[in-house]
A and B are shown apart, each in its own frame.
Chain A
Amino acid sequence: MDETMLDGNAVAGMLRDVFAVETTTTVATCGGCGEPTPMGETHVYRGAGFVLRCPRCENALVTLVRGDTRMWIGFPGIRTLQVAIDAS
Chain B
Amino acid sequence: MAGTALLGRLTWQLAELVDVIAETPRATTLVFAVPDWPGHRAGQHVDVRLTAEDGYQTQRSYSISSAPDGTRIALTVVHVQDGEVSPYLTGELRSGDQIELRGPVGGYFVWEPEHGGPLLLVGGGSGLAPLMAMIRLRAAVGSDAETRLLVSSRSWEDILYRTELERLAGHGLTVVHTLTASRPSGWTGYARRVDADMLAEVGPGPAARPQVFVCGPTPFVEAVAEALVTLGHEPRRIKTERFGPTGD
Contact = CB atoms under 8 A, between A and B. Distances in A.
Nearest to A39: B108
B244 interface: yes
Nearest to B103: A13
Nearest to B2: A86
A86 B242 contact: no
Contacts of A13: 10, 45-47, 61, 102-103, 105
Chain A residues touching B, range? 20 to 34
A48 interface: no
A64 interface: no
Contacts of A41: 108, 240
A4 B245 contact: yes
Interface of B: 2-10, 45-47, 61, 102-103, 105-109, 217-219, 222, 239-245
Contacts of B46: 13
A21 B9 contact: no
A10 B61 CA distance: 7
Contacts of B241: 7, 9, 40
B237 to A, nearest CB: 12
B242 A6 contact: yes
Contact of A20 (B7, B47, B103): B7
B109 A24 contact: yes
Given A24-B106, A24-B109, A40-B106, A7 B5 contact: no
Given A21-B7, A41-B108, 10 more contacts: A3-B219, A4-B218, A5-B242, A6-B218, A12-B105, A13-B103, A39-B108, A40-B239, A84-B5, A86-B3
